[in-house]
Chain A
Amino acid sequence: MSFVWTLAEQDGTSLKGVSFELLARGRTLADKLETKLASVVIGGKLSEEQLQELIHRGADEVYYIKNDALDDFVVETYSRILVKLIEQYDPHTILAAATTTGRTLMPHVSIGADTGLTADCTDLDIDPETGQLLQTRPAIGGNIMATIKTPYKRPQMATVRPKSSRPLEADTTREGKIIEVPFEESFVDGRVEVLGYRHNEDEDVDIQEAEMVISGGRGLKKGDNFEIIRKLATRFDAAIGASRDAVDRGWISYPHQVGLSGKTISPKLYFACGISGSIQQLAGIKTAETIVAVNNDPEANIHKIADFSIVGDLFEVLPRLIEKLDENGKKATGGKS
């Protein structure tokens, strides 16, 4: 039986957390299919130990291809490699992360490998009758859940929403094979030149990878008032999100935008402040584990979707919340020492 694959992501010197989330997904599928799980790693300067972690967290095999020419993500080159590996090994299923990399590479591969692809899945399963991959994803702003199959073509491919699953605990007794795939010059496409990378000075921007996101909307009244959100985010060690209204008004930059025309996120905690909860916004947060909201309009939609919501003035509620958390924190540490 052909394998289930996951596509690991690396940032040059280490593996990204989403690589392990994918393995947790892949492990379940491989077990149901009674087959092996392999992880493919393209590029980066990764140590044997780092690659072993993929095995500890669920992989049976790791295919690693490295070369200086592969350090930066270039879709044409990565696609060529993955298509070649697919031709060579004929996997049953490939899971990649629904990150900018996964959502760029996998569509490209779907044409090269002549197969289907389902975007941004939140649930994956195996059809017990046919052994086919059942790919479930939210569509139309999260208002329907569509289950999709790739009945006739192989491999079956899906990108998976980051944070929609938790990695398995590392089991250091697990054993597996690390197979180095030989690099060939012909893999490199060469047409596109990577000129550099500019780090976003804003540190709280990675809302898709964050465990917690504190988000501000029109209720903040002006851009300067994002300071309150920043304070709260520091207290929670959270990333900062924003509604479309807040971004459109120029109060904060687009990478922070949550929702239908921004990012769809699944953090453990989404804390919405002064956000009314339009369809636009809700589309981005429906798969958040816990939603907390503060909004002074008792009729606001967000109160209907939140797990815990406070009808009140955020300018009074939030500063007081920070104070109370600080008091609590002091008490807690005071008790220990």
Chain B
Amino acid sequence: MNIVIPIKQVPDSNKVKMDPESGTMMREGVEAVVNPLDLYSIQLGVDLKEKYGASITVISMGPPKAAKAIREAISMGCDDGILLSDKKFGGSDTWATSYTIAETIKSLPAYDLVIFGERATDGDTGQVGPCTAAWLDVPLASYVASVDAVTDDSIEVERMVEGGYQKLRLPKPAVLTVVKEIAAPMLPTLSGKKRARRTEIPTYTAESLPFEDANLGLKGSPTRVVKIRTPKVSREGRVVHATDGEGTEGALDELIAYLKEKELV
């Protein structure tokens, strides 16, 4: 089985500090890491590889340093990687990103499964996976929480939807986007790390494949960011102390009055 896992490198949101004045994120000097939700797609790939045998190719689009994210995935058990890096890819929205990824997947000799993390924690759109399935014109299962059976030509999954799970059978090849329940990511082992360090990761540019230039980067993106503002998040709410019995009574009376005023009780 051939598995493709597209991943994204994102700023580590855990390491980001809050500006005490504005209550907003300070991103300077923040380390880039594998999108936390991609660790689940990587681990699912590795789990399937262990169970059924597979070769896993990781794809990432980004600046040259995104190769580090690919190496991290390889150290967790993936086999090889492709870095999509070119100024022409810059400014891609989900439409152009998915086009670029889909074309790259099509160029591979064969693929049975494409597994995405549900979304990336920076852009937070969750659109690239479903868009890629549309470009490839292969069946899609989004929000996949478990893989129940894999045969030579099909895969059975459960999708996590509002209030429950939808069970689907998809013919292969198929695209999955997965949620946290799907797998428990392992730490890279020393031997995995050593292998990853020595794996050559080819860089594809806009010239490497017969991409339609008009579909790439900012030029190929139907959406445009026209304005960015930083909302003040601090609500400057009321803080009361309930450090002893008396304090608790007072605090709760105040809270109940507040909730009543807001018609929440």
What is the interface of chain A, defined by CB distance below 8 A to chain B? Answer: 72-73, 75-76, 79, 99-101, 103-112, 114-120, 134, 138-153, 189, 191-200, 205-206, 208-209, 212, 236, 247, 253-255, 257, 260-262, 264, 268-269, 278-280, 282-283, 286, 290-292, 298, 301, 303-313, 316-317, 320-321, 324-325, 328
Contacts and interface: CB of A to CB of B under 8 A. Distances in A.
27 contacts: A73-B166, A76-B139, A100-B159, A105-B130, A107-B130, A107-B131, A111-B95, A142-B233, A147-B226, A149-B223, A191-B171, A192-B139, A194-B167, A195-B169, A197-B167, A260-B13, A261-B121, A292-B259, A304-B234, A307-B238, A308-B237, A308-B258, A309-B240, A310-B255, A316-B242, A317-B251, A317-B252
Given A112-B134, A316-B242, A316-B248, 13 more contacts: A75-B142, A76-B140, A108-B131, A115-B222, A141-B124, A148-B226, A150-B223, A194-B167, A198-B165, A304-B234, A310-B240, A312-B247, A317-B252
B89 interface: no
Given A104-B142, A192-B139, A197-B164, A111 B158 contact: no
A144 B37 CA distance: 21
A119 B124 contact: yes
Kindly name the residue among A298, A303, A312 whose own CB sees the greatest number of chain B CB atoms within 10 A. A312
Given A198-B165, A254-B179, A312 B248 contact: yes
B49 to A, nearest CB: 23
Interface string B53-85: 000000000000000000000000000000000
B126 interface: yes
Interface of B is mostly: mixed
Interface stretch (B17-25, B107-115, B195-203): B17-25
B162 to A, nearest CB: 6
Contact of B222 (A104, A134, A153): A153
Contacts of B98: 107, 111
A27 B97 CA distance: 32
Given A141-B13, A310-B240, A317-B248, A108 B133 contact: yes
Contacts of B227: 146-147
Interface residues of B, number: 87
B243 interface: yes
Nearest to A211: B264
Contacts of B129: 107
Contacts of B25: 140-141, 143, 279
Contacts of B160: 100, 254-255
B14 A279 contact: yes
A209 to B, nearest CB: 7
B161 interface: yes
